[in-house]
Each structure stands twice: as C-alpha cells, then as structure tokens.
Structure 1
Amino acid sequence: MDPQTEIELQAAAFRRLQKHLMQDRTDVQNIDLMNLAGFCRNCLSRWYQEAAAEQGIEIGKTEAREHFYGMTMDDWKANHQTEASPQKQADFERAFEQNVTRGG
C-alpha cells in the first residue's frame, strides 16, 4: 500500500471513531472511557491539537474540543454528560494519572 492511501485509510478510520463517539454512542460517558480504556473524547481532541502543533498549526484547547465534539463543551455537557459516582471519580483520578499525567 502506498503511503498516501494509508494516510487516507487512517483518516477515514479516525472519522468513523469520531462519529461513533460523537453521534452513535453519546450515552457512553468520558469518565467511563477513561476508566476502561485510558482515553476519552478529550484525549482525542488533545491528540488532534498536538498533531496540529506538529504541523505548525496552533489550535487552542477549546478550539480543538469544539472541532472534535462539533459543539462547545458546555453544550456537550448539558446534552450528554451525567453525574459520576464518587467511585467513578476516584477511578478516573487513577486512570488520568496513569494515562495522561504520566503516560502522555
């Protein structure tokens, strides 16, 4: 496979993941994604922001999230986010430390 085709396939897979998380499975909470998989929608928007920076394109955290979510974080939270239990919040703190703070 040539490199351009590989890039196009990777981009298509990413767009499908984005659609799945942003349209098809809005019921899945970010905290549950982080606790189970070690990443969430916010991580994906941060990775998008970091990829842009590697290309010399400056995108702020808020702009990257709005691009990934297709709406503001306030709108996402109002429409899709539910309150997390104390246990989920504690699990999140550990997962965040392992996967974001130390893991990158």
Structure 2
Amino acid sequence: MDKQTQTEIEAAAFRRMLEHFDNRKDVQNIDLMIMAGFCRNCLSKWYRAAAEERGVEMDYEQAREVIYGEPYNSWKDKYQEKATPEQLAQFEATQKGK
C-alpha cells in the first residue's frame, strides 16, 4: 500500500471513530478512561499536537470542537453526567497501575 492510500484509510477510520463517538454520547469520558485509558479530551490533545507538528496553529478548545462536533462547554452541558463514586474509584484504580 502506498503512503497516500494509507493516509486516506487512516483519515477515514478517524472520521468513523468521531462519528461513532458522536452516536454514543451516552458513553461518558470517565468510562472511556477506565476502559481504554483515553477519552475525547485526550483525543483532542493528540489532534492539536498533530496539527501543531504540521505548522497549524490550534488551541485546545478548537481541537475539542473538532472532536466533540461542537464547543466543548455546549457538549458538556447537554451530555456529560457527574461521575459516580464508583466510576471515580474505578478510575483511581486504573491510574495506580501506571
């Protein structure tokens, strides 16, 4: 596979992942952190870093808007729930292994 095709496939997979996250707003970031070790905010940071490595200036909020599909505060107000004590305990347990 040539490099251009690989890049196009990776970009398509990334867009599909964002679409999946958009369709699964019920999945909270803390759940993602517990299960996968990353969340939408992590992905926003990686997106921003990749942009800056390529000379594209982007702040964290701009990157979040790409990942969340809308301004983060708007998404948070509509979809983010307060973490339960159980979720917080699970999250803490996963962090101890790092």
Q: TM-score normalized by structure 2?
A: 0.89
The offset of 1:67, in angstroms, is 1.7
Q: Does 1:11 align with 2:11?
A: yes
Regions of 4+ moved over 4 Å: 93-98
Number of aligned residue pairs: 98
Instruction: Give me the identity figure in percent.
Output: 51
Distance in 2, matches of 1:55 and 1:7, equals: 15
Matches within 5 A, 1:20-59: 20-22=20-22, 24-59=23-58
Instruction: Give the letter aligned to residue 49 of structure 1.
Output: R
- Cα RMSD of the aligned pairs, angstroms, is 1.7
Q: How far apart in 2 are the matches of 1:74 and 1:44? A: 16
Tell me, which stretches of 5 or more residues in structure 1 are unaligned?
Answer: none
Q: CA deviation at 1:94?
A: 5.2
C-alpha change, 1:97 and 1:21, in structure 2 (3 Å) is farther
Distance 1:11 1:97, change over 3 A: farther
Unaligned segments of structure 2, at least 5 residues: none
> Aligned in 2, Cα 1:92/1:14: closer, same or farther, shift over 3 Å?
same
Compute the displacement of 1:69 (Å). 0.9
> Partners in 2 of 1:64 and 1:88 — Cα distance?
26
